[in-house]
Amino acid sequence: MPRWVLHVDLDQFIAAVEVLRRPELAGLPVVVGGDGDPSKRGVVATASYEARAFGVHSGLPLRTALKRCPDAVFLPVDKPAYEAVSDDVMMTLREFGTVEVLGWDEAFIDAGAAGDDDPEATARSIQRRVREATDLDCTVGIGENKLQAKLATGFGKPAGVATLTYDSWFDVLGESSTDALWGVGAKTAKKLAELDIHTVRDLATTHPDTVAKRFGPTIGPWLVRVARGVASARVSGEAWLARSHGKEFTYQHDLEHWDEVVREVTRLAHEVAGEVVAEGRPAVRVVVKVRYAPFFTSTHGHKLAEPTSDADALAAAALVALARFTDRRPVRLLGVRAEFGA
């Protein structure tokens, strides 16, 4: 008997949370992103299904969303609100087994640990409990490993249950383009197409060495395994340990003067220091990111002489990294990231 992995994904999570606390928004096109002002620089975090009907989707510039759907309700991103609801959801999911959290609105559940021979029934129970506890709908994907479960969810949206197994993998996905796979984006799909690999089946039947020549010894064979539906079924309930914390900010008006850039990097470094302190582990390296107005981005880092959580030391390191930027064109975005040791 296969060991089942379940993947739970909340439907239009952020928009749904907003509708929950403002029921008058139900049924309206709702777009959440930036600070809620669609005339500013920013992108859509989530659009309700009603807004999606107008071609508004995650990642779309807010200004474009406004053009496509002028009557939409635009709301600012309210992180703490989503985190609070997410915590409720995850707590509910833990009633069913080990939970591996993937983000605010996604998790794997190892329901097989309970000797589950009817994962569909478990999936329906999960949906019922999540709705009872939070008033939110979710979709559940069932698979023999995490990859299959994750991709199955896409076929169950919204509010449904779908299953993907080694048996059904190629029937369902064989003719799909490679970017349907989890971990394969537009860039990788394009490179694969140059090797005359277009579909999931094409990739699955290519020798791993062929793919490794183009993508390296780790990613190459991994791509072929993913195309075959092969992945880990281990659901880890271990607490997440952050590798880094950062802050970045896109300016409404490009910074024209380098002294402003210096000031802003110092400010961001102090904000990041607050998170490093909260993390309870010292940082070992600081990385500064600069995106110039023509949308060209580069980064420079500086390893700390010794691990530290001290705000002034982190700010000083950020300025050392910043000094390595010699280009003085207008700056659109600045970022500071602190990395923890291994």
Partner DNA sequence: TCTGGGGTCCTAGGACCC
> Per rule CB under 7 A, is residue 34 in the interface with DNA?
yes
Return the residues of window 272-291 that contact DNA according to CB under 7 A: 275, 285, 287
SS3 content of the chain, % helix, strand, coil (to 5): 40, 25, 35
Backbone angles phi, psi at 328, to 5 degrees: -115, 25
- Of 233 and 272, the one with the shorter C-beta distance to DNA is 272
The answer to whether 170 touches 204, Cβ cutoff 8 Å, is yes
Cβ at position 24, least distance to DNA in Å? 25
CB-side exposure of 162: number of CA atoms within 13 Å? 20
Choices 37-45, 140-148, 165-173, 230-238; region in contact with DNA by CB under 7 A: 37-45
Residues 6+ apart with CB under 8 A from 30: 15, 18, 19, 47, 48, 50, 51, 72, 73, 75
> Per rule CB under 7 A, is residue 146 in the interface with DNA?
no
Number of residues that bind DNA (CB under 7 A): 60
Active site residue 175: no
Cβ at position 244, least distance to DNA in Å? 4
Return the residues of window 297-336 that contact DNA according to CB under 7 A: 298-303, 321, 324, 332-333, 335
Query: Which DSSP string do the residues of 182-232 spell out, in sequence order?
Result: TT--HHHHHHHHHTT--BHHHHHTS-HHHHHHHH-TTHHHHHHHHHTT---
Chain-centre distance for alpha carbon 5: 20
- Is residue 93 helix, strand or coil? helix
**Measured distance CA(257)–CA(291) in Å, rounded:** 14
> Per rule CB under 7 A, is residue 152 in the interface with DNA?
no
**Measured distance CA(65)–CA(31) in Å, rounded:** 8
Return the residues of window 85-104 that contact DNA according to CB under 7 A: 102-104
Choices 123-131, 200-208, 231-239, 248-256; region in contact with DNA by CB under 7 A: 248-256
Cβ at position 130, least distance to DNA in Å? 16
Pick the binder of DNA from 246, 260, 270, 307 (CB under 7 A). Answer: 246
Which of 35, 140, 15 lies closest to 82, judged by CA?
15
Token reading at 323: 């000094």
Choices 124-132, 155-163, 200-208, 292-300; region in contact with DNA by CB under 7 A: 292-300
> Per rule CB under 7 A, is residue 70 in the interface with DNA?
no
- Of 133 and 293, the one with the shorter C-beta distance to DNA is 293
Cα angle for residues 158, 164, 170 (degrees, 5° grid): 120
- Is residue 61 helix, strand or coil? strand
**Measured distance CA(312)–CA(293) in Å, rounded:** 29
User: Could you give the string, one character per residue 174-213, with x where binding to DNA holds by CB under 7 A and - elsewhere?
Assistant: -----x-xxxxxxxxx-x----------------------
Pick the binder of DNA from 94, 243, 263, 329 (CB under 7 A). Answer: 243
Given 18, 50, 106, 339, the catalytic residue: 106
- Of 249 and 258, the one with the shorter C-beta distance to DNA is 249
> Per rule CB under 7 A, is residue 245 in the interface with DNA?
yes
Active-site residues: which are they? Answer: 106
**Interacting residues toward DNA by CB under 7 A:** 34, 41-43, 45, 58-61, 63-64, 102-106, 150, 179, 181-189, 191, 215-220, 242-250, 275, 285, 287, 294-295, 298-303, 321, 324, 332-333, 335, 337
